[in-house]
Amino acid sequence: MTDLDYYNEVSTIGDLLVRATRLHPQRDAIIFPDSRKSYEQLLKDAVEVGRGLLALGVRPGENIGVLAANCPEFAAALFGISLLGCVAVPLNARHKNSELAFIIENAQLTTLLTTADEGQYVDFCAVLRSALPSLADAADATCLALPEAPLLRRVVLLRGAGGTSGAGCVGMARFADLAAQVDASLVEQARQAVRLRDPALIIYTSGTTANPKGCVLSHEAVTRGPAERSRKRLCADGHPVTWGAGPLFHIGSMAPFIGTIAAAGSYLTDTYFDPGRALALMAREGVTNAWPWFPAVVQGLLDHPSFDAAALPALRHLIVIGPPALIERIFRQLPGVEVVQGCGMTETAGIFALSAPDTPDALRVTSQGKVVPGMQIRIIDPDSGAPVAPGQVGEIQVRGYCVMEGYYRDPAKTAATLDADGWLHTGDLYRQAADGNLMFQGRLKDMLKVGGENVAAVEVEAFLCEHPAVRLAEVVGKPDARLDEVPVAFVELRPGHSVDAAALIDFCKGRIASYKVPREIHFMQQQEWPMSATKVDKRALRARLAPA
């Protein structure tokens, strides 16, 4: 039956905060273990950021970088930039000097907002000085002229005095003084001129290429889906309290944060992920929705000594992408909580498919849901381009409102990814059941070719995770003179468990096809995994297999 009770209220990022503030000014918008900001406070801080940027000469349409761990200042920066009609460019806090230097130049940043707390998790000023060596010697911090970044005019500290480490930066006090010279009405005038299809974010995503690619996402792409899901699906009691594990510079955390603001809810997060701190925060604040997203985060929570499902009585939804063994474990340890699987990527501003409320648990174990309203998908043979038969594996392509505008300043990569009809070629392998449910089969580039046979790395990984000793498994291809390549597994064991490589290989033999059985097992400690923002970096794993 057609649902005529719900209608979209699509708005810009800035308007979401203004709306929530008008509805619930004293409600907490964002909560950390040791601090919180109400909607009224967050809007005030965002307007101050906007005023300060205007005082420095920033104008609507400019690209503004944000380099910070999760903190109240990150949220204020995001909304302040959006209120002005500028484009926010969240920078990965894990990036080092060469990656940052590339993005600062490639994104044509005119301004970079960062933090400089003494003893903070990452010394961003030191990282920036390494990426931009001439920054420390800049004569005028309000009007930079750096050969490494010709368009960058200022680096602003939103938190921390910076001291000598902040050389070349506009300090927090100076920025506040400048903001006081600009009337807040100018920020309001700018806000009312922002259009829904204007660029809102450029989020850089790493891939198989040498440098990250900047996904240009409109306000509609960023806000429409999260707002609809939060208001219609995840807001049963009128006040969603949502926990997000990841960094806000990643779309997997940015999207639920935006959705929480759209529903005037409270967003729980932290500067870094620690399972004990996270569980305590969720219990204290009465979490209703949790977005751990990735298996390592979920396992960290479930394995922690303080985990107690009874301490989370209000938890209703847990959104995660993981192998069947992990989903079944969540069912056992969090009975009554709806486990929601989904499909998404940076190029689609997050989710484009999601489990339905009436999906049976048995199907949730193996599927990632159905395409969300307003979006289209098709699954094609990557070689011929023809649609595959129902139930067959192919590359999923996506079209609709949440698809990126393209890769910033990269028409060649854009043309290779977005075709003339608006279909995004994702590089992800899926099959679709007759009922519309999608099942992830791995990355097209993660499809191994073993003696002519296709092997999906994700299939072998999921099987290895069925072993009681295996906490995490990642499978890559190793070149082989006879078979072209063979599967090799990197495995992290559960605490207190032990198993050797031969036993794991024997576990696979006779239960999966012989060509899928890993030829080698390499054991990893948790801290040894090479990581991007949220995922294991398989390129780095392959590099470990290269001959010395």
pLDDT digit string, tens, across residues 429-481? 899 999 999 998 877 878 887 877 778 888 899 899 999 999 999 999 998 87
- Report residue 1's pLDDT band, with 50, 70 and 90 as the boundaries: very low
The span from the CA of 114 to the CA of 124, in Å, is 7
Angle between helices 172-179 and 39-55 (to 10 degrees): 90
Q: How many CB atoms lie within 10 A of CB 219?
A: 24
Scan for tokens 């921390």, then name that residue: 160
DSSP 8-state assignment for residue 229: I
pLDDT digit string, tens, across residues 120-141? 778 898 889 989 999 999 989 9
Predicted structure pTM score: 0.87
Give CA 532 to chain center in angstroms.
11
Are residues 115 and 71 in contact, defined by beta-carbon separation less than 8 angstroms?
A: yes
Q: Which CATH number fits domain 453-545: 3.30.300.30, 3.30.980.10, 3.90.470.10, 3.10.20.340?
A: 3.30.300.30
Residue spans per domain, the chain: 13-205, 453-545
The span from the CA of 384 to the CA of 201, in Å, is 34
Q: Write the CB contacts of 338 (distance below 8 Å, at least 6 apart in sequence).
A: 316, 317, 318, 357
Average pLDDT of the residues in 34-39: 97
Q: How many CB atoms lie within 10 A of CB 207?
A: 16
Scan for tokens 């989710």, then name that residue: 351
Distances (CA, A) of 266 to 24, 302, 338, 426: 11, 23, 20, 32
Distances (CA, A) of 203 to 73, 207, 246, 260: 18, 13, 15, 20
The span from the CA of 444 to the CA of 452, in Å, is 15
pLDDT digit string, tens, across residues 320-362? 988 888 899 999 999 999 999 999 999 999 999 999 999 999 9
Identify the pLDDT of residue 539: 82
Map residue 220 onto helix, strand or coil. helix
152-178: string of b/e by CB count within 10 Å (b at 16+)? bbbbbbbbbebeebbebbbbbebbeeb
Are residues 43 and 67 in contact, defined by beta-carbon separation less than 8 angstroms?
A: no
Angle between helices 295-303 and 324-333 (to 10 degrees): 30
Are residues 27 and 239 in contact, defined by beta-carbon separation less than 8 angstroms?
A: yes
Alpha helices in 116-162 (DSSP H): 124-131
Identify the pLDDT of residue 207: 56
DSSP 8-state assignment for residue 262: H
**Of 440, 419, 285, 278, nearest to 353 (Cα)?**
440
- For domain 13-205, the CATH class is alpha beta
DSSP 8-state assignment for residue 531: B
pLDDT digit string, tens, across residues 354-380? 999 999 999 999 999 999 999 999 999
pLDDT digit string, tens, across residues 164-207? 556 899 999 999 999 999 999 999 999 999 999 999 999 998 75
Long-range CB contacts for residues 21-27, cutoff 8 Å, separation at least 24: 23/264, 24/264, 27/239, 27/264, 27/266
pLDDT digit string, tens, across residues 93-118? 888 788 899 999 999 999 999 998 87
Q: Two tokens at 303?
A: 């394995």
Average pLDDT of the residues in 201-214: 79
Identify the pLDDT of residue 529: 93
Are residues 279 and 306 in contact, defined by beta-carbon separation less than 8 angstroms?
A: yes
The span from the CA of 363 to the CA of 153, in Å, is 53
